[in-house]
Amino acid sequence: MIRDPRYNDKLPADAGAPKRVNPRPDPKAATPGKKPGQSPLSRRLVRNLLVLIVGIMAALPGLGALPALGAEEPAPAAAQEPELSQGPLDYDRAARLAIRRSPYFTKGSLEIDVKRLDETDSRYDLIPSVNFRTSYYVDRPQQFGISKNTYSLRFTSEHYNPMESYYTLQAKKLFTQVAVLHHMQAIGDGLQRLGKLFLEMDCLKQVAARQQDLLDVARQNLTYVQNRLNIGTATSLEVKVATQELEAAQMEMERLTFSQNRLRGNLQAFIGLKSDQGTNLNLKEARQQLVGRFDPVSVTLEQTKTRSFELKIMDVKKELQKFNITVAKVKLLPSFFFGAVTADPLSLIQSRALFFYIGLDVPVWDGFKRLRNISRQKTVLKQYDSDSNLKVLDLVDKWNETQENLRSAGAARKAAQAQEELARLRERQSEIRYQSGGEPLSVYLEGRKGLLEAQKSGLVKALDYDLAVLALRQFSGDLGASYVDPNSWQQ
């Protein structure tokens, strides 16, 4: 047979010879269902490894019930969005709408999603990670006895410490709880801000009505003075004074209108509505929904401590730090590693089997960093204990301050009510005198003006008292608990 000069490899000795019809089977040849050159021991090790991994995955609690990556989680039952077309928007519906749509609450909600993804990563860390690496030798030495393989396969695992993975997962769960508590605290502060907007808008609406009456009184007074000037019983100076009073009343009315528009825009932005999206607000029920159902006397300091999110966050942080101490101790334990590799093509091994190995990584010397880390984590726990005690003291101080503000606002409201009643009596007295002809119209208008000013002052003092009650309700945790259940965010 003629050699082909394009190839340098030697032709086999039996080239060109007739093939045997029924050759005797080679005991080393591959059989159906069996990979060539793979020993039964290697196949058993690989099969046992796969069974172990599948068993660990099946034993993990709740692993199969994890949500798909990127899938949206259902919103809490307390945060269902009301329809804007159901009529005027009162505080209750606005609060539930804001919990779902407000951009001020989006950051906390996304933070919870991030922490849950971190928790999912830690849950999968309970299973040893496996990496695959392959290499192909394009040009290798042609020597007698060297392996005929031109590639190699390698399955390797990272260093695996099951105890560290377990306690890290528990720590990640606590991180998620901290994010939930921070979000609940932000919702409580946001609901107080929303309630403040409703109360201020309701107060401004009533003050604007009184200011409109003052504007009418100023017009009547100007007309009266001008008529007196025409008949010669008034001076031009009195006309200028009456004109200036009318202009001041008009400017105050414009200021109140601007404040109402500003508060309406702030309220729409807080809820998450567009500026051009009209909203019909129901302000009459705001006070009843916010402070009418709440009794400030029934609130106690112990109840406030129980509901305080700041104290709950500190408790979770202390529990988290205990896990950090445990993780620092667990890092002293050896870690496992395993893998399966084929023979190196540069070696003299002719087998194509997959060889399984397992080993331990034992920390021997690291400058005592692991031991110092345990002491460090214990010191951090003591810091958390100190911070927790300071949080309790700050809560007590804020409780006393809130109570003092409430009492002061209550006293100011009662004083304003007394002044309003006095102004009403004087206005009635001047009206009787004017009707009987004993006093001119200017005296009655002055009494009417004094009553309207006293009513405006009373409305402002009543607003201050309602805001103080609202602050106490939010501080005690009653406001947030009325609209959102923290357990609905837990998994």
Domain holding 295: CATH number?
1.20.1600.10
Q: Could you tell me the strand order of the sheet in which 130-136 lies?
A: 130-136, 151-157, 335-342, 354-361
Q: What percent of the chain has pLDDT over 90?
A: 58
Note whether residue 270 is domain-resident. yes
Helices (H), 79-161: 91-101, 103-124
Note whether residue 446 is domain-resident. yes
* Alpha carbons 11 and 176: distance in angstroms, whole number: 69
Highest average pLDDT, of 55-59, 291-295, 372-376, comes from: 372-376
CB 471 within 8 A of CB 192: yes
pLDDT tens for residues 174-204? 999 999 999 999 999 999 999 999 999 999 9
Provide the whole-model pTM. Answer: 0.76
* Alpha carbons 319 and 316: distance in angstroms, whole number: 5
Closest C-alpha to 84, from 97, 99, 101: 97
* Alpha carbons 473 and 471: distance in angstroms, whole number: 5
Instruction: Please compute the mean of the pLDDT values over residues 296-323 and round it to a whole number.
Output: 94
Instruction: Please tell me the total count of domains within the chain.
Output: 1
pLDDT tens for residues 330-379? 989 899 899 999 888 877 777 778 899 999 988 888 889 999 999 999 99
Instruction: Please compute the mean of the pLDDT values over residues 300-317 and round it to a whole number.
Output: 94
Sign of the torsion formed by the C-alpha atoms of 208, 210, 214 and 219: positive
Note whether residue 29 is domain-resident. no
Note whether residue 329 is domain-resident. yes
Note whether residue 32 is domain-resident. no
Structural domain boundaries enclosing 443: 40-62+84-480
Highest average pLDDT, of 23-37, 54-68, 447-461, comes from: 447-461
- How far out from the chain centre does Cα 200 lie? 27
Note whether residue 17 is domain-resident. no
* Alpha carbons 459 and 464: distance in angstroms, whole number: 9
Note whether residue 297 is domain-resident. yes
Instruction: Please compute the mean of the pLDDT values over residues 317-335 and round it to a whole number.
Output: 93
Min mean pLDDT across 27-31, 38-42, 192-196, 236-240 is at 27-31
* Alpha carbons 252 and 448: distance in angstroms, whole number: 18
User: Which residues have C-beta within 8 Å of that of residue 217, sequence separation ≥ 6?
Assistant: 445, 448, 449, 452
Instruction: Give, as one character, the DSSP assignment of residue 128.
Output: P
Closest C-alpha to 270, from 82, 104, 80, 89: 104
Note whether residue 361 is domain-resident. yes
* Alpha carbons 258 and 281: distance in angstroms, whole number: 17
